[in-house]
Structure 1
Amino acid sequence: MESRQIEILLEKYFEGETSIQEERELKAYFSSTEVAPHLESYTPMFTNFQKQKELQFTKALPLQPRKQNHVKWIGVAASLVALFGTLLYFNNNVTTNQDLGTFSNPEEAFIETQKALNMVSTEVNKGVKSIEVLNEYEQTKKTIFK
C-alpha cells in the first residue's frame, strides 16, 4: 500500500472520520512487515488493539450480594421516633391541665385513652408506610442484582 494513502488514512483516523473498512486497512498495514520507516511509530498503537482484544479478564467477581439487615432497624427506629414524638406532644399539651390525666368518670377516661391510642396507631402506621418503600426498594434491588 502506498505510504501517502496510509498518511491520508491516518489523518482521517485521528480526526475520527474513518470508516470501519479504512480502520481495518490501517490495522492490516501496521500488522504487516512492510511499514514505512517514518510511520513505524504508529505500529505499536495498531498492534496493541489486537493484543488487547485477545486479553481475558480472569479475576473472580463476587456475585453474592451482601445481606443488609439495617432495613429492620430503620422500621424500629421510625416507630420509636413516632412514639417519642407522640409522648412529647402529649407532654406539651397535658402540662396546661394540672390534673395530668386523672378522671373521675371512667367513661371519659376510656374515651381519652382511645384518642391517645388512635393517635399513636396513626403515627406508627405512618412510620410503617415509609418502611414499605424501603422494602420495595430492597426487592427491586434483589431482582436487578440477581
Structure 2
Amino acid sequence: MVLANIEELLEKYENGETTLTEEQQLKDYFSQETVEPHLEMYKPMFNYFLVNKQEQFTKDVPLKTKRTFNYKWISVAAVAVLMLGFYINSGDVDPSLADCNELGTYCKPEEALNEVSKQLAMISGHFNKGTQAVGYLSEVDKGTAALGYLNEIENSTSIIFKK
C-alpha cells in the first residue's frame, strides 16, 4: 500500500499537482536506504533536494548598483550638434558672397582694411606692454658698462704688477 501511494505521489509530482506535505513524504521515502528497484532512478534527485536545502549563500549582496556612464552617447550628441550647426550655417550664406565666405576672406576691400588695422593695433599694444615689462634692461646695460671699466682697471693693474 505504501508503494502504491508513493507511485501515485510520483505521478502527481511529475504533473506538478502535489502539495508541500506530499512532496515532503516523497523526500522522506527517497532518503531511506531501501527503495524499490524500479524507483531507484528518483533517489538522486530527491537526495539532491535535501542536500541543496542545507546549502547557504555566504557572500555579501551589494544593495547599491554601480552606475556607469556610457560615453558613447556623448559622441552621438556631439555629432548631432555639429551636423545641426553645419546645416544652420549653410543656410545663412548670401549666394553672391559664397566664394568669399568659403575661402575665409573678405569680399569688400574696406572690410579687409578695417580688420587688418584692428589686428595690427592689437599686436602693437601687446608689443608695447612687453617693452615696458623689460624696461629695466637698460639699467642692466649701465651696470655691465661699469663692469667693463673694472675690467680695464684690472688689466692695467695686472700689467703694473707683472712688470
Q: TM-score range by the shorter chain?
A: 0.5 to 0.7
Q: Kindly provide the amino acid, as one letter, of the partner of residue 68 in structure 1.
A: N
Residues 16/75 of structure 1: CA separation in 2 closer, same or farther (3 Å cut): same
Residues 99/64 of structure 1: CA separation in 2 closer, same or farther (3 Å cut): closer
Q: Does 1:27 align with 2:27?
A: yes
User: What's the offset of the Cα at 1:49?
Assistant: 1.6
Residues 69/47 of structure 1: CA separation in 2 closer, same or farther (3 Å cut): same
Cα distance in 2 between the residues matched to 1:74 and 1:11? 59
Q: Kindly provide the amino acid, as one letter, of the partner of residue 53 in structure 1.
A: K
Cα distance in 1 between the residues matched to 2:23 and 2:38? 19
Residues 85/54 of structure 1: CA separation in 2 closer, same or farther (3 Å cut): farther
Q: Does 1:76 align with 2:78?
A: yes
TM-score by length of 2: 0.48
Query: RCO greater where, 1 or 2, for CA within 8 Å and sep 6 or more?
Result: 1
Q: How many residues align?
A: 99
User: What's the offset of the Cα at 1:29?
Assistant: 0.9
TM-score by length of 1: 0.52
Give the equivalent residue in structure 1 for 2:5.
5
Cα distance in 1 between the residues matched to 2:20 and 2:77? 57
- Stretches of structure 2 that go unaligned for 5 or more consecutive residues are 102-106, 109-163
Residues 22/59 of structure 1: CA separation in 2 closer, same or farther (3 Å cut): same
User: What's the offset of the Cα at 1:74?
Assistant: 3.3
Cα root mean square deviation, aligned: 3.2
Identity fraction in percent: 37
User: What's the offset of the Cα at 1:59?
Assistant: 7.6
Q: Which has the larger radius of gyration?
A: 2
Residues 21/85 of structure 1: CA separation in 2 closer, same or farther (3 Å cut): same
List per-residue Cα deviations over 1:49-106 (Å, max 9, x = no partner): 2223334557888954444333433332221121012133345xx43xx244889xxx
Give the equivalent residue in structure 1 for 2:53.
53
Residues 87/74 of structure 1: CA separation in 2 closer, same or farther (3 Å cut): same
1:1-146 alignment runs, 5 A limit:
2-56=2-56, 64-90=66-92, 94-95=94-95, 98-100=96-98
